[in-house]
Structure 1
């Protein structure tokens, strides 16, 4: 019933995947104290290399992008060297891997970076704090961010491009720009977090200006064939919903389609969620407005994904937590074997 998942898929003339099952990005907080990937991480990713493509856990592009403990970076020589062990393990086992490039924006916390940067400033589109505390470190309360200046934004664009260059040096096959889940790029795309009145706010064209500048800078650095993006048109985490957001994503998706990326990846934890202003599910909305390669995700089973691909709802299936519980997920699905059920305890170790 899932045969279509095991067909090779050409992202473009440069990259062909062995199958249509992707490993979704899964934050594990298992880098060392210098945010360098460890040997245990190399072994963890290597065991999952039968996926058509692994999208790495989110990787910080610079120190002030950190919002969670021990999340890996891609901005120092030591971090690049650490990632080389990861990518080599994946390639040795016949797989491919993209780095997901990340800045958490207003969800960052100076606890993680103030000593490195000499500043407590949390950067975001507008001075609107996210209410709550840092997961895994509940004593840390989010603070009101500092709105990014035009110079700040230009530097961020350059830092994304440099992180993409570092990813290729580290052996990644490409990058996925993390423009979803209420982090920095996504914060510019939603009215609930972007209340600017300059060239980066108020209208769809302005609100998409920074995200598209990042996309264009990464393409200029490593090529459109190695560049992808994840987006969340439906505000569901870290952001309040606003019906005006739809016009922003209508504009953004048309612009992304013209750039011929490796793929666009749906950003949603549960694709059964529906949004009135999108007319239903996030994946359905994106497919209606984007005709190139689309990756579906969101608490889907292999059977659900296979059926959706057969109906042209998307082209590739990304699987998250079941890959934590089942390093051999692809083989188990192909052979019809029962899956090990995921549990929260599994987050405490890399197996």
Structure 2
């Protein structure tokens, strides 16, 4: 079992309060006219600007999406989320910390996801698959990694600090990975995952380029110290992300996006560069990505709750992510993620800062976020931290699909 309080510490209090929203126990009563306007993204149109962020919940059946997952996504689709991003979905067998994270590399997984996308579409929402490769934060002794018959690959043979594989003897942390000989092999795996996602009925794919996983590892000079065309300069470190996006576009056309955390995800998974290097690297990436005709880009803002401390120092490169990087997007819609309240969401959309917003923890704890915001009802369900990621021997529905919707008036 993963106890989120142990993982992130007391900073969770700031998230639980949603910047004071739960403390005041009310949603803003002002008209949310901008949030509830349709938006064209690539080849689809979403009914409103309220998105469900990708949220690891650790509920699959041996990497295969199941009925309780179907209920979870269906609840949130019928509850007013105009746009849903799947939890991080593994593109290949990996030794992830999340034993019950779903994948999209085989037929059983495709069939499981197909039931979910059908239900989401039936409820009037749209759904992207977030395609995910962990890179160096996998573990060679995890069952799926052993089954893969491959080492833990990363841009460079540099271990991340931290980690805790609770299901392995001794609860080990991260280990030194093997430098990836040919990055195009992983790019091809992303492309194949997109083909499977399309078969499963997803409207598009979101490339997970945040939180210290493989795309992020290529971007960051602390984890990528290659001397070939995939490392060194900002242009070279951005190459993996850009080539992967191009491969996804070959499958999905304009229905491709990327999620980025330029503040280095608050230091999560031991990531972080000096500010100027961060600006140079992500500025290069976004300038080139903006030419590809993506459906949208998601920028994750600084969140204190994930600002990990190493050797007595916070790891994040803290700065105004949206203000710094939005100017690089001339043609691509921007979604903002991390700590957004309904009131701020309306402001971000109405003033043109963002095309839409993603909600994280509010979507976990409320199956009807969109409906509550539209009706001015409070987001007042308390998070069940103990069962946030499930617990061995416990009904997976607990802390997952048992949060109540607001009562009708």
Which TM class, normalised by the smaller chain length?
Answer: over 0.9
Counterpart of 2:41? 11
Query: 1:20, 1:340 → 2: CA distance?
Result: 21
Matched-pair contact (CA < 8 Å) for 1:125–1:148: yes
Please provide the CA RMSD for this pair: 2.1
Q: Does 1:338 align with 2:378?
A: yes
Structure 1 residues 297 and 211: CA distance shift in structure 2, 3 A: same
Q: Which of residues 319, 323, 348 is equivalent to 1:280?
A: 319
Which segment drifts farther, 134-143 or 241-250?
A: 134-143
C-alpha displacement at 1:279, in angstroms?
8.8
**Cα distance per residue 1:30-58 (max 9 Å; x no partner):** 0112x000100001100111311100100
Counterpart of 1:114? 145
Q: Which of residues 321, 346, 364 is equivalent to 1:306?
A: 346
**Cα distance per residue 1:287-306 (max 9 Å; x no partner):** 12213200001111110111
Matched-pair contact (CA < 8 Å) for 1:227–1:261: yes
Q: Flag structure 1 segments of 5+ consecutive residues without an equivalent.
A: none
C-alpha displacement at 1:338, in angstroms?
1.2
**Cα distance per residue 1:188-212 (max 9 Å; x no partner):** 0011111111111110111111111
Counterpart of 1:319? 359
Q: Which of residues 52, 70, 75 is equivalent to 1:42?
A: 70
Structure 1 residues 168 and 271: CA distance shift in structure 2, 3 A: farther
SS in 2 for 1:62: coil
Query: 1:207, 1:124 → 2: CA distance?
Result: 13
SS in 2 for 1:309: helix
Query: 1:182, 1:117 → 2: CA distance?
Result: 22
Counterpart of 1:191? 221
Q: Which of residues 177, 180, 184 is equivalent to 2:210?
A: 180
Structure 1 residues 279 and 109: CA distance shift in structure 2, 3 A: closer
Report how many aligned residue pairs link the two structures.
344
Query: 2:164, 2:354 → 1: CA distance?
Result: 33
Which segment drifts farther, 300-309 or 242-251?
A: 242-251
Matched-pair contact (CA < 8 Å) for 1:269–1:297: no
Matched-pair contact (CA < 8 Å) for 1:42–1:85: yes
Query: 2:261, 2:304 → 1: CA distance?
Result: 11
Q: Which of residues 23, 33, 42 is equivalent to 2:52?
A: 23
C-alpha displacement at 1:140, in angstroms?
2.6
TM-score normalised according to structure 2 size:
0.80
SS in 2 for 1:142: coil
Q: Which of residues 241, 246, 261 is equivalent to 1:211?
A: 241
Query: 1:210, 1:326 → 2: CA distance?
Result: 36
Which segment drifts farther, 136-145 or 322-331?
A: 136-145
Higher relative contact order (CA closer than 8 Å, sequence separation 6+) = 2
Matched-pair contact (CA < 8 Å) for 1:21–1:318: yes
Structure 1 residues 272 and 147: CA distance shift in structure 2, 3 A: closer
Query: 1:135, 1:241 → 2: CA distance?
Result: 26
